[in-house]
Structure 1
Amino acid sequence: MTKGINQKLKMLYLENIFQRETDDEHGLTLQEITERLNKDGVNADRKTLYSDFAELKKYGLDIISSNGGRNCTYHLGNREFELAELKLLVDSVQAARFIPDKKSHSLIGKLEKLVSREQGKSLQRQVLIAGRVKTLNRSVYLTVDKLHQAINAGVQVRFHYTRWNINKELVPRNNGNWFQVSPWLMILSDENYYLAAYYEKAGEIRHYRVDKIKDLQLLQDLPREGEAAFRKLDIPQYANIHFGMFNGEQTEVELKVQNEKVGIFIDRFGKDIMLIPQGPDTVSLTVKVDVSDQFLGWIMALGEGVEICSPEWVREKMVQEARRILQVYK
């Protein structure tokens, strides 16, 4: 038997065939395996394949034969990841707001390669379930990685911090000046990544949304500060106070919002919300929310410049909540 042009790569091609083309529901006959190897420039016969299978089993591949006789098929059994485990990972990638849509599809495509092509189709179908607002900052996953590097190295960082304007553009805060902080912790909450960092000028721990961080730089010559403040921090309590989800009766609510607070709503509900100017300083917008005590409290926490316009029952609910709070503190 003449050798193929890629004969030295035979075992690698063979492993790839088992990994990508077989699973518990899909096996290949010796003839089919031989044909696939031939396409890759590798020659093989029945006797050498038996020997190759034995070597791959020694290497750790769970190659299983079934049916017997001439109709015997071979497939890969146990894998490093079970299909159910990969589905969990796919769901996590898809749900993460800090990962842009394009990167989500790229990561899921890589996860698909850990199972057979047929099983990979079931992972891809889960992508179509999505419909969540994703970050518009395509470099956010790189920012997360650099922040972890800074935390592990124990050094300070600086960056430009941005906000949304009424034109749905990210513009610099603080007149474009640098924010310089000591990073201590990454917090994943409400489908967003946050950096908890010590701000030396205020002498306290503050948090920053990672997808709003631009031009991140590690300051390798400046050791991190604020260890005492960080050690005093009750992390679960901090997360509960600063990051919250709310559940209740879902409905469309129209609000009147001052221009400088529009970014808060874009952050939570996405860039597709319609902004209708209501004069030089305010816009109206409609969002679908879960009307609950937490939602009303969130609106109150925004302070002046945010008003619920409709529906009337939500306005009345806010009035009742305001009266309740007034009675408590009267």
Structure 2
Amino acid sequence: MPRSTNQKLKLLCLCRLLWERTDEDHPMTVPELIQGLEEWDIKAERKSIYDDMEALRVFGLDVQNRKGKDPGWFLGERPFQLAELKLLVDAVQSSRFISQRKSGDLIEKLESLASRHQARQLQRQVYVDRRAKTMNESVYYTIDKLHSAIANHRSVSFKYFEYNVQKERVFRREGKRYDVSPAGLIWDNENYYLAGYDHRHREMRHYRVDKMAELAVTCLPVEGVAADFDIASYAQKHFGMFSGKEGLVSLRCDNRLVGVVLDRFGREVILVPDGEAHFTVTVQAVVSPQFLGWVFGLGAGVEIKAPNWAREMLRRQLEAVTEHYKEET
């Protein structure tokens, strides 16, 4: 049989046919594989197909040949199972920090990891209660730069902004740059945050990654970040990543709220029985409006016992909110 100019691509093309067109439910027979190769102007004989499949198997591909009913060759094990790809697609689709356009790009790449038949099962919509996607398209690349800075122990510089009612960016500090030594990234409440040492204020702070602009990794080494800095502990103390006054807070809770407390503070916290219907727990927390809102949301089931300044903060917040709902006389 005369050799075509593409004959050297034969094994690569067979690999692509198996990857894109076959799975356990969609095998390809030898005649179908020969026909598929002809699309690249590659000639093949039946016997050579068997030799090529053995070569691909030796190379490491899980090439299988099913006999009997619905016979044919197919690619068995892949880097990701279909169920795993579905999970990843759902996560990308429902993630707030990934823009709509970037979500589409990522899902298309995930589809390429499955056969074309399985890819159709990945083209689905996940209902996420009108979830808003980020308006900052560059966040995807900002996260990558931050990971690089953290790995190489380098400081970063960026501008930080908020949105006004016209959905326009308004830069803080009149557009002056923030210089920060990154300590770690936190994913909280479906947003990415950078925790790091602020060079200007000389203290640890955190910043929403999707509100950063013009991020640059500098040549300066990190400073102010303790070697034993615990990013997980930092994230746990900051409710919704809001800032506030930090301290040991003692809570008295109904027994029915044990699960709620463990979900919030972890299973390592110590629960001390307080009578038959209550328990107390002492946690290191940043007392912010978000923390106080969490306490208030649990109603009479939780009481801040100490410190007094935390009790006073809650009392003042309740009074401020009550003012909005006083009946007009």
TM-score by length of 2: 0.71
* Other-structure match for 2:198: 199
Distance of 1:187 and 1:161 partners within structure 2: 17
* Other-structure match for 1:223: 221
Distance of 2:133 and 2:67 partners within structure 1: 47
Distance of 1:308 and 1:22 partners within structure 2: 65
AA at the equivalent of 2:58 = K
Shift, 1:11, TM fit: 0.4
AA at the equivalent of 1:43 = K
1:117-266 aligned within 5 A: 117-125=116-124, 127-130=125-128, 131-220=130-219, 222-228=220-226, 231=228, 233-244=229-240
* Other-structure match for 2:26: 26
Shift, 1:35, TM fit: 0.7
Aligned 8 A contact 2:159 2:175 in 1: yes
Check 1:22–1:308 CA distance in 2 against 1; reply closer, same or farther (3 A cut).
farther
Distance of 2:293 and 2:177 partners within structure 1: 37
AA at the equivalent of 2:237 = I
AA at the equivalent of 2:221 = P
* Other-structure match for 1:276: none
Aligned 8 A contact 1:190 1:243 in 2: no
Shift, 1:57, TM fit: 1.0
The answer on 1:15 being equivalent to 2:11 is: no
Check 1:51–1:202 CA distance in 2 against 1; reply closer, same or farther (3 A cut).
same
Distance of 1:118 and 1:295 partners within structure 2: 50
- 1:185-244 Cα deviation digits (max 9, x unpaired): 111111111000101332211000000000111221x2111123x73x543342133243
Aligned 8 A contact 1:95 1:191 in 2: no
Aligned 8 A contact 1:196 1:208 in 2: yes
AA at the equivalent of 1:21 = R
Shift, 1:146, TM fit: 0.8
Distance of 2:216 and 2:296 partners within structure 1: 38
Number of residue pairs aligned between Structure 1 and Structure 2: 258
- Seq. identity, %: 44
Check 1:4–1:203 CA distance in 2 against 1; reply closer, same or farther (3 A cut).
same
Q: Unmatched 5+ residue regions in structure 2?
A: 242-291, 298-312
Shift, 1:169, TM fit: 1.1
The answer on 1:84 being equivalent to 2:83 is: yes
Check 1:309–1:107 CA distance in 2 against 1; reply closer, same or farther (3 A cut).
farther
AA at the equivalent of 1:195 = L
1:79 counterpart SS class: coil
**4+ runs deviating over 6 angstroms:** 306-310
Aligned 8 A contact 2:98 2:140 in 1: yes
Aligned residues: CA RMSD:
2.9
1:58-137 aligned within 5 A: 58-68=58-68, 72-125=71-124, 127-130=125-128, 131-137=130-136
Aligned 8 A contact 1:184 1:197 in 2: yes
- 1:56-95 Cα deviation digits (max 9, x unpaired): 11111222222449x7311111112111122222222223
Shift, 1:32, TM fit: 0.9
TM-score by length of 1: 0.71
Distance of 2:239 and 2:43 partners within structure 1: 60
* Other-structure match for 1:263: none
AA at the equivalent of 1:223 = P
Aligned 8 A contact 2:193 2:207 in 1: yes
Check 1:6–1:308 CA distance in 2 against 1; reply closer, same or farther (3 A cut).
farther
Q: Unmatched 5+ residue regions in structure 1?
A: 246-291, 320-330
1:194 counterpart SS class: strand
* Other-structure match for 1:294: 294
1:227 counterpart SS class: coil
* Other-structure match for 1:284: none
